[in-house]
Every structure is written in C-alpha cells, then in structure tokens.
C-alpha cells in the first residue's frame, strides 16, 4: 500500500461514525449488510450514513453491490489487510517475535474475505 492510500484509509476511519460502520461490516463478513440495516443498527440518519459510506468507499475500504432493491455494503478485506500490513511494515526493527501476534491478525484478515462465516441474524 502506498502512503497516500494509507492516509486516505486512516482519515476515513478517523471518524467515530465511519469507524463504527467499518467495524460492523467487518463483523458481517463478505455477505455484507444492507444500507437500511446499517442505519438501524447504528441509529444513523440516512443522509449522514450516505455521506459516511461514500467516504469509506472513496478510501477503498468498502464495496457496494445491488441485490434486488437493496444495496449491500461489505468491507474490502484485501484493503484492510493492506492497511494493516502497511502499518506493520518494518515492524520491531529486528525483533519480529514482538509483532508475531499482529502478523497473525493480518494473515487472518487477508483470509477473511473468503473464509469468514456469513453474518448471524440480529
């Protein structure tokens, strides 16, 4: 990941509402969540939710797809693992055992897009 992309991602996540949306989508896994359901779960106004989803989308952290009349949003797990990898690049300056647990998290995030179970019904 390049510096500009990392800055855009971190900036998008540096807002309480957008971080809550992203975490909800990560928890949901690849199946995603409909926009209306995101609004209900986070008690968000539609215009605020739309603006926050647009910021996350422009940063490359989420994707949207249409299913019938709904738009489903899901986290981009490759982008998430890329950001985590960028943050850990050159970790621990010669003492990789310090960052080993974080490396495991990055590896799980990279695999999550395909391996995460579908979200539980709420």
pLDDT digits (tens, 9 = 90+) for 14-40: 999 999 999 999 999 999 999 999 999
Which runs of E-coded beta strand occur in 6-91? 33-34, 62-67, 70-75
Q: Which one, of 61, 117, 52, 114, lies nearest residue 84 by Cα?
A: 61
Q: Whole-angstrom Cα distance, residue 120 to residue 24?
A: 12
From residue 92, alpha-carbon distances to 23, 86, 99 in Å are 27, 13, 7
**Between these two residues, 69 and 97, which has the higher pLDDT value?**
69
N- to C-terminal Cα separation, the chain: 35
- pLDDT confidence bin for 112, thresholds 50/70/90: low
CATH number of 3-115: 1.10.10.10
3-state secondary structure of 105: helix
User: Is residue 61's pLDDT more than 60?
Assistant: yes
Its pTM surpasses 0.75? yes
| Predicted confidence band of residue 117 (pLDDT cuts 50, 70, 90) | very low
Confidence of residue 46 (pLDDT cuts 50, 70, 90): very high
Boundaries of every domain in the chain: 3-115
Q: Which of 35, 21, 38 is nearest to 66 (CA)?
A: 35
Helix axes 3-13, 16-28, angle to 10 degrees: 100
């Amino acid at each position: 990941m390049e510096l500009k992309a990392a800055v855009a991602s971190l900036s998008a996540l540096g807002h309480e509402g957008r971080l809550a949306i992203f975490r909800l989508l990560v928890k949901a896994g690849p199946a995603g969540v409909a926009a209306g359901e995101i609004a209900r779960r986070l008690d968000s106004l539609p215009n605020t939710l739309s603006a926050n989803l647009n910021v996350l989308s422009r940063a490359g952290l989420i994707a949207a797809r249409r299913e019938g009349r709904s738009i489903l949003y899901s986290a981009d797990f490759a982008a998430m693992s890329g950001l985590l990898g960028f943050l850990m690049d050159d970790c621990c300056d010669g003492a990789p055992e310090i960052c080993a647990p974080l490396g495991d998290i990055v590896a799980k995030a990279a695999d999550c897009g395909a391996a995460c179970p579908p979200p539980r019904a709420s």
